[in-house]
Structure 1
Amino acid sequence: MIRILHSVSNMDRAGIETMLMNYYRHIDRDIIQFDFLCNKTKPGAYDDEIKQMGGRIFHSPGLNPVKYSKYLTYMKEIFDTYPEYKILEAHNGALGVYALYAAKMNCIPHRIFHAHGASITKDWKLPIKLVCKRLLPYNMNIHYSCGVAAAECYFGKKVVEKEDFTLIPNAIEVDRFIFNTAIRNKIREMYCLEGKRVIGHVGRFMAQKNHAFVLEVFAEIYKKDKDMCLVLLGDGELFSEMKQKAVNLSIEEAVKFIGNVSNVNEWYQAFDLFILPSIWEGLPVVGVEAQTSDLPCIFSSSITKEIAITDKTKFIDLNEPIDTWVTEIQKSLTNTIRKNNEALITKCGYNIKNEAKKLEERYIKLYGGANENRNINTSVHK
């Protein structure tokens, strides 16, 4: 059996992790298994499902320079204990170099860096991330990316111009997200949303997702229309702070903080518009999901235009006045007809049933080309 070791933060419900689970559920697990190297000790929402499907979960000492020697020792133990690993795939942004370097030192032949973001988060770790980013080319030998913008961010323009990377779409289970009136009515009744126009957002409560801006925009909309409601799905470090901000803006009665849920697909049916004013993204899977449900979508212009699948998408610069956002949202809310987008989403390469088969073939080809002693050098595979 082919086993792929994926380096992640932890397997909670977030964009990268959801993408991985979409592929994991649809690959042939008699041939390929996914294992997860989690760099946080916190249990993930997907842990039980992973174990049920036969996957392993490891918890490293963490991506902390102080624990670097412990991390390398831990990784050596994994590779010594499980010599079947020939492919490691890092999803940790620039910090993915930790896993890639450890794999290189242990002669793992195929070291994939999977680019998910079109920018690097500017937090206190930024100096460390910039150093790690410079080291990536020396430790990865296969380039995967969710989109062109993310590839350019991590691999550079030359790699993109040469098309020296593999595009792995953020594919989804399309049939779960197709608009369904019965599901829409069920969710809206359960949460007292009948007669409301609902703006929805799905994302982890972190600075990148720009929840503060979402609340400020909604506050202006709510002043003009008390039948509006904002629904926020997700959890994270800024959750409590954003709840307090809603109180400060006097919109707490019109904002629902739902938290992490397993039925995100049903919530899209209940929304009337999807908003994602992120400061940066790669190619957000939530954008694919929302468009599969045929929702009007308002994205920040910081998000790659690659995400535009339907004609209901609009991009607005974050430097534009809030009034501009309000006006465009009000216009988009007049588009109330929802249709079945399965054919369009599939044509654009986001149907997991098709894309999982392609990824299977790539892994099989890589694994079959790996030397048993691991001491081989591989070029980037397309």
Structure 2
Amino acid sequence: MKRILVFGMNENPGGVESFIMNYFREFNREKLALDFLCNSNDKIAYEDELISKGARVFHLTARSKNPIRYYWEMYRFFKEYASDYQAIWVNINSLANIDYLKFARYFGIPVRIVHSHNSQNMDTKLREKLHNHNRDKIEKWATDFWACSHEAAKWFYNEETIGKVKIIPNAINMNASIFSSEARDKIRIDYTLDNKFVLGHVGRLHFQKNQEFMIRVLAKLQEFRDDVCLVLVGQGEDLNKLKILAEELSIQDKVYFVGVQSNISEWLSTFDLFFFPSNFEGLGIAALEAQVNGLPTLLSEEGVPKEVKINDNTFFYPLKESEESWANFLDEMIHTTTRLNYEYIQENFEKSGYDIKIAAQNLEKQLLELV
């Protein structure tokens, strides 16, 4: 059995966490064991499941909270455990912090994979400078270079490295996202949504996901459709700002902040249209899951890679267009698009390359060949 150390899991069950878990659940654990190193002392998403399936989960103090303790704990960890691993797999949104790769090289982990999950800087100017600095030196620390999409690869790696990059699909389990009429009815009753047209969104409440724009578009849509509401599933630093904006626009009763939810497929079943106008995405697993649920889906043309589209009721629209224009386009979709049936979705999905059963077999084979 080969053992790989994985970095990239956090407390919030976001896109990277979903990606890792989708593959983890499918790998043959008699051949390939994954352990997890986390830059936080808080419990990570899916930690109980990881441990129940035999994975070890190690926590370090966050560098932002105590840099000295962070480096000391990382040094002690790699000194004690590095010899257990044939590879480290670092899943990150930028190259601002590549300490894990540096320690892995210093302590002799032979295969060091860096995996890009984003297509634009989502942090401070300082972290952007650190990313650009490390991008030109990444081949010194990593041995293998992966990305979730061509857009994510182009931003993450320089011209010398880009030719060595492998695209790893953000594959999902179709059965985990299929439509449920029972779940739809229950949630719509519980949240008094039964007579409303529900625009839905799943994602961290953050500039990247562009929820402020969604709320402004909803306000425009209310001018000619007062039966429409917006449900935001997720948590994040923009929560209070978004609540204040909804109040300022007098639509606070039309925006539902439901927090982090574990039953995402049930919430997708509750929605009538999936709204995903991100400023940027590595790929957008949430948009894939929405399409598997059959939802009409509206994505930003500039922010979401075109590879994510698998269904004909999925559309892209430019962020440069006005909020009023977006509201009109949404209104047109409301009148002309419907949820797709399972058989049609299944055919599209199997052709897309995002089927986790097939993708996990391919990735497991690649990993075993590397180690």
TM-score of the two chains, using structure 1 as the length reference = 0.89
SS at match of 2:98: helix
The aligned counterpart of 1:362 is 366
1:10 matched to 2:10:
yes
The aligned counterpart of 2:230 is 230
The aligned counterpart of 1:379 is none
Q: In the comparison of the two structures, how many residue pairs are matched?
A: 364
1:353 paired residue among 341, 345, 357:
357
1:312 matched to 2:328:
no
- Deviations along 1:218-261, whole A, 9 cap, x unmatched? 11112221111110000011112212221121111111111001
Moved more, 320-329 or 23-32: 23-32
2:364 maps to amino acid = E
Q: Distance in 1 between matches of 2:160 and 2:346?
A: 35
The aligned counterpart of 1:380 is none
Whether contact under 8 Å (1:152, 1:159) holds in the other structure is no
The aligned counterpart of 1:107 is 108
Whether contact under 8 Å (2:11, 2:42) holds in the other structure is no
- Deviations along 1:318-375, whole A, 9 cap, x unmatched? 22111111111111112124211123112211111221122211221122xxxxxxxx
1:157 to partner: Cα distance? 4.6
SS at match of 1:333: helix
1:15 to partner: Cα distance? 0.6
Residues 62 and 29 from structure 1, CA distance in 2 versus in 1: closer, same or farther, beyond 3 angstroms? same
Write the mapping of 1:294-333 to structure 2, written as runs, cut at 5 A. 294-301=294-301, 302-333=303-334
1:342 paired residue among 346, 349, 367:
346
The aligned counterpart of 2:26 is 26
SS at match of 1:120: coil
2:130 paired residue among 125, 128, 131:
128
Q: Distance in 2 between matches of 1:244 and 1:42?
A: 29
The aligned counterpart of 2:200 is 200
SS at match of 1:33: strand
1:66 to partner: Cα distance? 7.8
Whether contact under 8 Å (1:97, 1:135) holds in the other structure is no
Q: Which runs of 5+ in 1 are unaligned?
A: 368-382
Whether contact under 8 Å (1:19, 1:172) holds in the other structure is yes
SS at match of 1:118: coil
1:248 matched to 2:248:
yes
Q: Distance in 1 between matches of 2:52 and 2:9?
A: 20
The aligned counterpart of 2:283 is 283
The aligned counterpart of 1:166 is 166
Residues 248 and 342 from structure 1, CA distance in 2 versus in 1: closer, same or farther, beyond 3 angstroms? same
SS at match of 1:169: coil
SS at match of 1:23: helix
The aligned counterpart of 1:117 is 118
Residues 66 and 186 from structure 1, CA distance in 2 versus in 1: closer, same or farther, beyond 3 angstroms? closer
1:351 maps to amino acid = D
1:65 to partner: Cα distance? 11
1:128 to partner: Cα distance? 2.8
2:325 maps to amino acid = T
Whether contact under 8 Å (1:2, 1:84) holds in the other structure is no
1:96 to partner: Cα distance? 4.6
The aligned counterpart of 1:145 is 147
Residues 96 and 365 from structure 1, CA distance in 2 versus in 1: closer, same or farther, beyond 3 angstroms? farther
- Deviations along 1:60-101, whole A, 9 cap, x unmatched? 23345982x654543343233221212111112213521111
1:322 maps to amino acid = E
SS at match of 1:144: strand
1:176 to partner: Cα distance? 2.0
SS at match of 1:306: helix
- Deviations along 1:205-228, whole A, 9 cap, x unmatched? 112111111110111112221111
Residues 126 and 157 from structure 1, CA distance in 2 versus in 1: closer, same or farther, beyond 3 angstroms? closer
Q: Distance in 2 between matches of 1:328 and 1:46?
A: 37
Q: Distance in 2 between matches of 1:345 and 1:257?
A: 30
- Deviations along 1:143-174, whole A, 9 cap, x unmatched? 111111111111235554x4x32221111110
TM-score of the two chains, using structure 2 as the length reference = 0.92
Q: Which structure is higher in RCO with an 8 Å CA cutoff and minimum separation 6? A: 1
The aligned counterpart of 2:77 is 78
2:143 maps to amino acid = N
1:310 maps to amino acid = N
Q: Distance in 2 between matches of 1:44 and 1:72?
A: 20
- Deviations along 1:113-140, whole A, 9 cap, x unmatched? 1011111124253333332333323211
SS at match of 1:323: helix
Whether contact under 8 Å (2:296, 2:339) holds in the other structure is no
Residues 58 and 77 from structure 1, CA distance in 2 versus in 1: closer, same or farther, beyond 3 angstroms? same
Q: Distance in 2 between matches of 1:116 and 1:217?
A: 28
Whether contact under 8 Å (1:12, 1:46) holds in the other structure is no
SS at match of 1:224: coil
Moved more, 56-65 or 85-94: 56-65
Whether contact under 8 Å (2:9, 2:44) holds in the other structure is no
Q: Distance in 2 between matches of 1:11 and 1:347?
A: 33
SS at match of 2:331: helix
Q: Which runs of 5+ in 2 are unaligned?
A: none
Q: Alpha carbon RMSD of aligned pairs, Å?
A: 2.0
Q: Distance in 2 between matches of 1:87 and 1:177?
A: 31
1:101 maps to amino acid = K
Whether contact under 8 Å (2:198, 2:231) holds in the other structure is yes
1:286 to partner: Cα distance? 0.4
